[in-house]
Amino acid sequence: MHKILQPHDQFHEQVACADSSGATSASDELVGSGLEDLEKEWDKSLQKWLAFLEDKNEDELFQDIVFIGFDGHNFAAKLKDIALQLNYHSIHHRGQIQFVIRKQGFEPDFVDYIGTVYRKID
């Protein structure tokens, strides 16, 4: 049973706890610990994934991985699909963060990937 999803699950548990703690938003409690801490946790999680995937060959990426789902039941999915889901799910979180920033009366930064690679040519 793989526990590679555990850091992400723990993050969601923190958000749920913050929601029930009376904080004005879940992000208030999480950010209260400092953006540096959040960055460190993100980096630790990313490094675990990179190290885990680095040792896999193409055949292994297409093998089913068995894991425990949010409801406590066993599930199986191809490793490549789990990695893609985690990447895609980050888009969901970016949207949540953008919403909170706008709700607080600010205009969020442009954070789409293309914004990091495009260039004007005229």
Residue 19 has pLDDT above 50, yes or no: no
- pLDDT band at residue 100 under the 50/70/90 scheme: very high
pLDDT band at 20 (very low <50, low <70, confident <90, very high): very low
User: Residue 18 pLDDT more than 60?
Assistant: no
Give phi and psi for 52, each to the nearest 5.
-65, -45
When pLDDT is averaged across residues 17-30 and rounded to a whole number, the result is: 47
What's the pLDDT at 71? 94
Query: Domain coordinates of the chain in residue numbers?
Result: 6-117
Which residue, 31, 7, 9, 8, is CA-closest to 18?
31
pLDDT of 110 > 50? The answer is yes
Mean pLDDT of 38-49: 86
For position 9, what pLDDT does the model report?
Answer: 55
